[in-house]
Amino acid sequence: MSAQSSESATSKRRRTVGVILKFVIPVVISVGLCWALFRNDNLADMLEIIKNHCDFKWIGFMLMVSFMSYVFRALRWGIQLEGVGIKASFTELVYSIFGTYAVNLVFPRLGEVWRSGFIAHREDAPFGTVVGTMLADRFADLLTGMLFTLLTLIVGHEAIESFVMRYPDSYRRMATLATSPWTWIAVAAVVLFALWFFKRRSSNGMINKVKEFCHELWSGFAAILTIKRKGMWLLWTSLLWGCYFGQMVLAFQAFPFTREIFDSHGLIAVLVCFTLGTIAMGIPSNGGIGPYQIAIIFGLSLYAPAGLDEAAKKAFELDSKTFANLILTMSTCLTIVLGLWTFVAIALSKKKPRQGE
């Protein structure tokens, strides 16, 4: 009895730690960063800037392009699912993407699990295989983001160098950790131990279930290498990331001060802000709230006019905060609307019957 109680207590502790890591920490990060960023600002001043200076026509165009990015992601994922024999309908694919981003607003990263479960349920497909295609989808985004970062390092190296020099100690620690041989030795040791453990415990039922799931996971991930419509996959990827970048270009036209930056520095300034914002979205927070604004504000600060006095600097900073807050708020509102529409539509729809039923 005591052993069962101990096991139950351990299980509860693990669940508590899981909840803290998945949900509490992202909320704390979001709230903490927003408080640190805006504690000295007056919301009324930001609303006044939006009322008097924002051209919402461009914000509307930005949201239209954002909507299309969801559709292109759905179409691309559909090709990857076809690679493992799962032919989801266009509607289901679009719902899965709309729902993903809506769930991520409340439970960061859980949206990816939700969309995999949704498609697996609707198509009676192995969950692990669907998760594998989702991971391949995100891995493709990682590679594309790295290409944008590389391009930014080439054409906007001065801005990136300024970013690195502003936080030299943090950058040096990360670089040291990434290049340390002990880091890679530790990674290799973990992998070897996992392989040995799975082989040694091959007769254990739970281990076999984990191995089966890992096999399904790999088959879904590896499908990206064997998909038939590679040309269409590349097209949807290009259009997806073209939409992401296009949103920032359109947003820059919404305010006079960002239009001036665009006119003076061209697409390089947009690229720097876009890349910093993309990197910030990788920080665990609710929908990027907090890290994203900080990244955009910093990116804009790199292109502030020279020779500004203290009052002008504060005005530019307030304009930057207003810009970052508005574009993230409008994007978040779009995500909420699409998410609500999706969950209502799913609730009203019926799962399609299996073949032969």
Q: What is the DSSP string of 263-316?
A: HHHTHHHHHHHHHHHHHHTTSSSSTTTTHHHHHHHHHHHTTPPTT--HHHHHHH
pLDDT of residue 223: 60
| Contacts with 88 (C-beta within 8 Å, 6 or more apart), sequence order | 78, 81, 96, 119, 122, 123
The size of the chain, in residues, is: 357
Give domain status of residue 21, yes or no.
no
Residues 6+ apart with CB under 8 A from 297: 37, 317, 320, 321, 324
Amino acid at 171: Y
Q: Are 122 and 92 in contact (CB under 8 A)?
A: yes
What total of structural domains would you count in the chain? 1
Flag whether 191 is in a domain.
yes
From the list 321, 293, 334, 301, the residue with the least C-alpha distance to 48 is 321
317-352: per-residue pLDDT in tens?
A: 889 989 998 998 899 889 989 989 998 988 887 655
Would you say residue 23 lies in a domain? Answer: no
Q: Are 111 and 134 in contact (CB under 8 A)?
A: no
- The answer to whether residue 207 scores a pLDDT higher than 80 is no
Phi (first) and psi of residue 279, to 5 degrees? -65, -40
Percent of the chain topping pLDDT 90: 25
Task: Choose between 303 and 73: higher pLDDT.
Answer: 73
C-alpha span between 35 and 12 (Å, rounded) = 32
Please count the CA atoms within 13 angstroms of the CA of 118 that sit on its side-chain side.
26
Total-model pTM: 0.74
The answer to whether position 13 is within a domain reads: no
User: Cα–Cα distance between 275 and 292 in angstroms, integer?
Assistant: 11
List Cβ neighbours of 46 (8 Å cut-off, separation of 6 or more): 318, 321, 322, 325
Question: Which of 141-145, 161-165, 227-231, 240-244 shows the highest mean pLDDT?
Answer: 240-244
For residue 241 the two structure tokens come to 């990331």
Best CA proximity match to 112, nearest among 133, 82, 91? 133
Single-letter amino acid code for the residue at 278: T
DSSP 224: G
* Domain assignment of residue 2, yes or no: no
pLDDT in tens, 52-97: 999 999 999 999 999 999 999 999 999 989 888 889 999 999 999 9
Give a yes or no: residue 9 inside a domain.
no
228 and 82 in contact (C-beta within 8 Å)? yes
Does residue 19 sit within a domain? Answer: no
* 130 close to 120: Cβ distance less than 8 angstroms: yes
Tens of pLDDT, residue by residue over 135-192, are 888 888 888 888 888 888 788 767 666 655 655 554 455 556 556 677 778 777 877 7
User: Domain containing 203: what range?
Assistant: 29-170+184-348
Is 308 within a domain? yes
Can you tell me the distance from the alpha carbon of 210 to that of 202, in angstroms, rounded to the nearest whole number? 10
CA 67/CA 69 separation, integer angstroms: 5
Q: What is the dihedral of CA 44, 314, 153, 183, to 10 degrees?
A: -80
Question: Which residues touch 284 (CB under 8 Å, ≥6 apart)?
Answer: 25, 26, 29, 108, 109
Mean pLDDT of 286-314: 81
The mean-pLDDT minimum among 19-28, 78-87, 238-247, 268-277 falls in 19-28
